[in-house]
Structure 1
């Protein structure tokens, strides 16, 4: 196994696995503590750790790292969000510390840049398009608001290890310059460096400098540059193309993300299909809400796709959190949408699009799915995969912040057998 990936949410895991599959690798994706399959070039473990308590997140990473290293992984890769989603307490720093201990790595880079989705790092500062992340809608995220754009500061607040910067002028000089700079930082007592990257060429340079490290971290498109390098080194053979993720049966959307993009996608879908909006601030009991939503959705499935969403604007989110608490509101949405997923599948839905990283994890776990077959990466936000149990399903799991406005309807149709 060339790469053992650990992602801090399910949509990130799907994206990472899809990037590796697009590079011709045999890839399996497993959830939580499911067994690590053999015969793979890469295995990606999806953990619900992004907003978990620090100790719980570290424990999950420890189990995943031990399982992947025990299965022979040459490199561990920590996949986190391109907007470096975390809280002041973690969990990027604490989980990276754990992986450093497990691998014995003396140094590693953090490269969250995703140029295709207009996420770039310059002089250690994270930009979303032309805006610093702290000026973007990401500052209103209900669970991981990003109000500090300097990622050196963000990471340094989460770890006792020293954090430095790998600036863009060094990256522009090529892999040898990156290796020299990393060595200089390591000799000065630093363990981590935030890597600037503005283009795919920058990420390719970082990949060429780190392809044989025991530990790397970053966005999925850093890892996307490893397969051709490994093939060039004679470590990777071509793999057979995977079949597309398609299924018959009804289609449905479950949207838990409160991002601007998800709300735009819901509004577009509502122009063509039925949409049920659930206001968490007015939730009576989860059981009653589940009965009401299922009673609304199931009779409509025969006539075409439906969407059920708990997404709201910042004012609605604030009202829900005021009533239920930040964690309570998130948990209520995840439990409700997970229960609806079970009801939809029982009624014959076989194509599900789930918007939101935590929502996707909650839905997949509610359905009892432990392993996914991931289709090769297509574009940001479109993470296509298939599950064989408990029912054959075609799934699109998206982060909630990405994807075209019209993707709900087009992707559901694309997944039709």
Structure 2
């Protein structure tokens, strides 16, 4: 099923990508990026913002008029996307116009942002296919730099093998307790270039952790040795901050030579920011210009979750033990067109009842990957001729409508949305067209402030949480604004 990306906004200065000025320049941008899922898109905004680069995340490429009127002086912009959940043909329909729009911005670097656990397969969220589309959009590109590790997120690439930590222990991706059994893109290969080779025929090379030691002269010499192999992709190992900064230096120098299209996690931004600060290009410690009222503990909050990750399961259980009231959806009823409205209405009534008593409603679809609701939902989708990749869209739309209806009836200062695929559809239902990071809560899950068509949602505080983001008490941290 093709996703309709082009959402029409109102007349308050927001925009859709069809309105993009073909001559758009947006002078002064250090970086423009596209995130392959919504929660991952906030990772990049967070990495840049806390390192002194004012960044705004949009749902569609903004017009020059919008940038000039509401976002003058920003140094980076992002486009929140959904390509991680799409098959290759739908990825092409999604990415070709977005890359064309990003190419027209006069940014130093254009980044296709992927998850730091490299979630992808030849049939869903193919990073290799995204590279091919990006290379075509930037046809003067000789090599595509690839960096996935991010020490601040406990993600490491060592001699091309990728590791992710959970519970204080780092696992190779193919042995990771969550990623090795991911319901959509299970990882059975920790060698990133071998995994990528299943998705593209582009040749590859590796700058390993030993190559990334030494002074700038030695770094450049090793880079030239790898480039002499004429690879289509160049992967950078990342183990620690010094190597991260070394990678940032080389990626920046490659961009200055014309290779401005890069692929990777938010480790790209951490690497670049480290180099930019060392060079005095940016200063650490800048804060967002827009301030939202009601910092600290929220006077009221709604939480909705479409995530089935074990991390989110533990967070929901912790929240229910610490003052939140759980409301589990009947997912088959929520997905079926004949019963969706009634199920949503029942969930809304229960959430309103909780809020009326001073409680914090938490509406969720599943408690972990073993929840029986997941199997029932898959059966229903199969009977309807739909695929598992449609789950995020259908659940996201219904949870988004629930959040909108709740917010329209109540003063809602803060909203938490858990689930990478869910988040984008919730934002669209609320008419939100841009976000700016406001306060750190946990790596990958900042408190954000919204720009929206409706005054009711303009200024709403919002947290978008991916499945692997946050400690056990994350929901409570969102409520308390800590």
TM-score w.r.t. length of structure 2: 0.80
Q: Tell me, what secondary structure is at the counterpart of 2:184?
A: coil
State the Cα deviation string for residues 151-209 of structure 1 (Å, max 9, x = none): 11111111121122222221234554443344333322311133221212221110011
Q: Give the match for residue 298 of structure 1.
A: 352
Q: Give the match for residue 329 of structure 2.
A: 278
Contact preservation (8 Å) 2:61, 2:102: no
Write the mapping of 1:219-368 to structure 2, written as runs, cut at 5 A: 219-227=265-273, 229-230=275-276, 233=279, 235-236=281-282, 241-242=287-288, 245-247=292-294, 250-271=300-321, 272-281=323-332, 285-302=339-356, 303-315=358-370, 316=372, 317-325=374-382, 326-348=388-410, 349-368=412-431
Q: Give the match for residue 91 of structure 1.
A: 126
Q: Give the match for residue 375 of structure 1.
A: 438
Residues 377/62 of structure 1: CA separation in 2 closer, same or farther (3 Å cut)? farther
Indicate the larger mover: 288-297 or 89-98.
89-98
Q: Distance in 2 between matches of 1:156 and 1:177?
A: 29
TM-score w.r.t. length of structure 1: 0.91
Residues 219/376 of structure 1: CA separation in 2 closer, same or farther (3 Å cut)? farther
Write the mapping of 1:176-191 to structure 2, written as runs, cut at 5 A: 176-191=217-232
Q: Does 1:55 align with 2:118?
A: no
State the Cα deviation string for residues 357-389 of structure 1 (Å, max 9, x = none): 111111101111111122265531322211142
State the Cα deviation string for residues 300-341 of structure 1 (Å, max 9, x = none): 123132101112333333343233241243333222211211
Q: Distance in 1 between matches of 2:106 and 2:76?
A: 10
Q: Tell me, what secondary structure is at the counterpart of 1:100?
A: helix
Q: Give the match for residue 410 of structure 1.
A: 477
State the Cα deviation string for residues 32-79 of structure 1 (Å, max 9, x = none): 344362432111111111112323323433323332332311211221
After superposition, the CA RMSD in angstroms is: 2.4
Q: Give the match for residue 26 of structure 2.
A: none
Gaps of 5+ in 1: none
Q: Tell me, what secondary structure is at the counterpart of 2:210?
A: helix
Deviation at 1:150, TM superposition (A): 1.6
Aligned length: 415
Q: Give the match for residue 21 of structure 1.
A: 49
Q: Give the match for residue 125 of structure 1.
A: 161
Q: Give the match for residue 396 of structure 1.
A: 463
Deviation at 1:253, TM superposition (A): 0.8
Gaps of 5+ in 2: 1-28, 383-387
1:111 maps to which of 130, 142, 147: 147
